[in-house]
Amino acid sequence: MIFDKAMKIAPERFRVIKLAEYTTWGIGGPAASVMANTMEELYDTIGFLSDNSLPWVVIGRGSNLLAATEGWHGVIVLLRGKLAEFSFNGPLLTAGGGAHLPSMAAASCSRGLAGLSFAVGIPGTAGGAVFMNAGAYGSSLSELVKEVTVLHPPDSIEYLTAEDCGFGYRTSRFQKNDSIVTSVVLKLSDNMENRVDLRRKAREILSLRREKFPLEVPNAGSVFRRPEEGPPPGKLIEDCGLKGMRIGGAVVSTVHANFIENAGGATSSDIMQLIELVILRVRQATGITLKREIRQLGELNIE
């Protein structure tokens, strides 16, 4: 098994983690992990994994990830240290791939720099936000991107403009390859808007998110992508009477129907069964086939 191979090859390099502690759904079994704090460590880590034919994936806050309850026989790469820092140079915000997105948004507001307040309540990292082209309330990260630095395994660096990134609604070119977003430069408003107003706007966004979304229970945000035509997924699911539908510990949220909650003890199988049932019921009622927005890690068995 790959998991055992990783631990056998270099037990001093890897440690065992429980994926449930690294995903916002709170679901997931064991996996090997390795931490990279600098670009040099990241080069070394990816090179080592490639040389030993070990599958790997970088995860940030795990806010759009469903990990298998049985675990994953690969290596989780965690960006920490300098790769999780961010800094300002005038209106430019430079962030490592592992930087905490809500902290970036809050710091921007405190400096009187506008543009990122929509992200104040989005759990995730800078790298994950680029990967997913995170957005809310009519704004997307792609509107702010000036430059993205990516590592093409094992050791090739490329600097990309926003146009190079293939951004679309909740998508980017990075979803189709194994490149690692190591840093991003965002260009915020240089009008130095009133800091009090920006902080108030951020608080209003947080308050609105608490009202609209089930933030007090484990979830992974929006489960389904918005169809190109027709109502948003939440309305489609609600109109089909699916709010509160439950399989095991997985429940379609009664707060927002495009969220599935881990109401306690949910397994990846519970979540997947409920997702498939929602897709089926919505398709039967409306003819629209919902597409998943979440990513999966490991073999997700539907019992």
- Is residue 293 flagged as an active site residue? yes
DSSP percent split of the chain into helix, strand, coil, nearest 5: 35, 25, 40
Residue of 80, 111, 170, 225 marked catalytic: 170
Question: 250 CB contacts (<8 Å, ≥6 apart)?
Answer: 260, 261, 262, 263, 266, 270, 271, 273, 274
- Is residue 170 flagged as an active site residue? yes
Query: What are the two backbone dihedrals, phi and then psi, of residue 100, each rounded to the nearest 5 degrees?
Result: -75, 115
175-184: burial string, b at 16+ Cβ within 10 Å, e else: eeeebbbbbb
Residue of 222, 253, 268, 269 marked catalytic: 222
- Is residue 80 flagged as an active site residue? no
Structure-token pair, residue 292: 């998943």
Query: What are the two backbone dihedrals, phi and then psi, of residue 157, each rounded to the nearest 5 degrees?
Result: -100, 140
DSSP H helical segments within the chain, as ranges?
2-9, 39-51, 101-110, 126-132, 195-212, 233-239, 268-286
Q: How far is CA 49 from CA 31, 33, 150, 298, in A?
A: 14, 11, 17, 18
Amino acid at site 36: A
Q: Are 66 and 297 in contact (CB under 8 A)?
A: yes
Looking at the annotation, which residues are catalytic? 170, 222, 293
